[in-house]
Amino acid sequence: MKEITLFYLESCPYCVKGFRALEELYAKKPAYRAVPITKIEESHEPGLADRYDYYAVPSLFVGGEKRFEARLFMSYEEIRDGFEKALESALAE
């Protein structure tokens, strides 16, 4: 199992949806709770955020590899699916 690094901003509506999706996914499949997730609020740690290649938040990296990055006008379902793919990837590796 690999760790997920999650970059977010507190004021980002897509990040709020991402955290809501994460709770939904935990309820759907409790094994996802075992995946370690380091949550980094981008504005609090800009130096760390600069070391990663992404443009938008939320962004998820599994073992250092980008697996999900939000884009404008994403639906809740698209965000949830991106989070689920990252969780599945982390469990599998």
Using a cut of 0.85, tell me whether the model's pTM lies above it: yes
The residue type at 45:
E
* Domain ranges, residue 15: 4-92
Per-residue confidence (pLDDT) for residue 82, from 0 to 100: 97
What are the tens digits of pLDDT across the range 19-48?
A: 999 999 999 999 999 999 999 999 999 999
The 10 Å CB-count burial string (b at 16+, else e) for 4-35 is bbbbbbeebebbebbeebbeebeeeeeebeeb
With a CB cutoff of 8 Å and minimum separation 6, the contacts of 17 are 74, 76, 79, 80
Q: How many domains does the chain have?
A: 1
Q: Is the pLDDT of residue 93 over 90?
A: no
- Bridge partners of 61, per DSSP, are 5, 66
